[in-house]
Structure formats: C-alpha cells, structure tokens
A and B are shown apart, each in its own frame.
Chain A
Amino acid sequence: DSGVTQTPKHLITATGQRVTLRCSPRSGDLSVYWYQQSLDQGLQFLIQYYNGEERAKGNILERFSAQQFPDLHSELNLSSLELGDSALYFCASSPRGKETQYFGPGTRLLVL
C-alpha cells in the first residue's frame, strides 16, 4: 500500500458524460501527478499540482481539467467523454515534487 488513495476503483459511463476522479496523496505530500494508462498510448503524464497550484501540463485534452484543494486532495474532471477516453487513470504523489512518486491503485474508466 503506497498511501495514495483513489476513488472510485471502477467507473462505467456513456459517451458525452462527465466524471470526476478523486485522489488523496500520501500524508504530507504536497505534489500530485495524474497519469493515463491506455493500450495504445501507454503511460502518459497529464498534469501536476503542487500545493494547490498547477505546476506542469502534459498531453491533457481540453475536455479534461483538474484541481488540488486546500486539504491537498486532487480531482480530475473528464467531460464530453469519448470511447477513446477509456483507460486507467493513476495519480501519484511526492513530498515536494522532485522526489520519488508513489502511485495510487488507479481508477479504471470504461466509456460505452
């Protein structure tokens, strides 16, 4: 157990819908990263937050957004979902962003 929690574990939804994925970092970690794992793209960085502020962006679609709240948990919002958004979404956390990242169990999203 890495200490990073993610909810829900599984999510099944329809095209066009919007979902919110939640991540709680390890206690004391200020930095949260989101990654997408899909069969065709592999593991890709989406976005990073540090102490409530966006720090870096990767290949994140405009339909996707994220935020980090004062209690340091983070949410990834996916809207206007498409079939191709079906993937495993991981979050990871680290103390200040430059140390080892520890991954949560992931949320498996299936868009039908």
Chain B
Amino acid sequence: AQSVSQHNHHVILSEAASLELGCNYSYGGTVNLFWYVQYPGQHLQLLLKYFSGDPLVKGIKGFEAEFIKSKFSFNLRKPSVQWSDTAEYFCAVNAHESSYKLIFGSGTRLLVRP
C-alpha cells in the first residue's frame, strides 16, 4: 500500500530564511508526486507536481521540489520564505494502480515570523 511521510510536523522560520520540507513515499511502482498548500481557513491549492521528466520541478510562489527516485523522496524547498508563506503543506502521491486517488502525508505547519 502507498504511504507518505512528512517528517516535520511544525516548522518555525524567520522571514528570508530558507525552507526545506521533507517528504518520503512508499510505493514500488510509478507515482505522480504533488505538493499542496492550505492557507489558514482555505482550501488546498496546488504548489507543484511531478509526473515525469526533469526531477527538479518549479512551482508557484518560488517553490521548487526535487524528486530523488533512489530515496523515494520529494522534498519541497524555497530559498527565502515570506510571512505570507505561513500555511500547512501537504505532500501527496498517486498512481494508476490505485485509480489516481491522492494519498496525503500528515502535513507540515509552517509559521513564518515577520
């Protein structure tokens, strides 16, 4: 069965600090990988996705993620965070074999101090 682990449940950073959120998945086949963001009181928004090709993926708002197949990882990065990045971040995977249902990690709450 597929599973997703996000190791950092809570992260607190100051503005301009660099961010890296870890995501590891467990699945033996081909997967699609996603990072979604949920701002306070809002719905899930897609930050970026990886289906195939260049393992370094750039998303919206300056975020990027790198797919490392050998490590089953898809870590999210941003070189300089802003107060407006305060949100909860979810890593997710899906696969053809499971009808593309999204399996989510437990989420990481990011607080950026101004």
Contact = CB atoms under 8 A, between A and B. Distances in A.
Given A42-B104, A42-B107, A100-B49, A105 B99 contact: no
A33 B102 contact: yes
A100 B45 CA distance: 11
A2 B45 contact: yes
A2 B43 contact: yes
Interface in A86-106: 90, 92, 94, 97-98, 100-106
Contacts of A105: 42-43
Nearest to B103: A45
A30 B59 CA distance: 25
A48 interface: yes
Nearest to A56: B99
Contacts of B99: 48, 55-56, 97
Contacts of A98: 96, 100
Chain A interface category by residue count: 20 to 34
Contacts of B102: 33, 35, 43, 45, 92, 101
B7 interface: no
A103 B45 contact: yes
| Chain A contact residues, majority secondary structure | strand
A33 B34 CA distance: 16
A104 B45 CA distance: 9
A58 interface: yes
Contact of B101 (A2, A56, A104): A56
B6 to A, nearest CB: 10
Contact of B44 (A48, A56, A90): A90
B70 to A, nearest CB: 25
Nearest to A6: B43
Interface of A: 2, 33, 35, 42-45, 48, 55-56, 58, 90, 92, 94, 97-98, 100-106
16 contacts: A2-B43, A43-B102, A43-B107, A44-B104, A45-B102, A55-B99, A56-B99, A58-B101, A92-B44, A97-B99, A97-B100, A100-B34, A101-B100, A103-B45, A105-B43, A106-B43
